[in-house]
Amino acid sequence: MNQKQATPLAQEWLAGDKATRTRIQQSLHGTKAMQGFLEALANQAPVQGK
């Protein structure tokens, strides 16, 4: 999963409740997709802060 593919997942994580975040983290944990997700999440964070 690259950063572009991970962006919707990052947005879902940011908008989600604790259960949603846990589900996403568990689905990605230990996978190569996790890196793309974390990069996308980092790119989303400033947008969310405005």
Domain locations in the chain as residue ranges: 3-49
- In the prediction, which pLDDT does 27 show? 92
Q: With contact defined as beta carbons under 8 Å apart, do 20 and 13 qualify?
A: yes
pLDDT for residue 47 is more than 90 = no
pTM of the predicted model as reported, rounded to 2 decimal places: 0.69
Tens of pLDDT, residue by residue over 13-46, are: 999 999 999 999 999 988 888 999 999 999 886 6
pLDDT band at 5 (very low <50, low <70, confident <90, very high): confident
* Confidence at residue 11, expressed as pLDDT on a 0 to 100 scale: 93
With the C-alpha atoms ordered 44, 9, 26, 32, is the resulting torsion angle positive or negative? Answer: negative
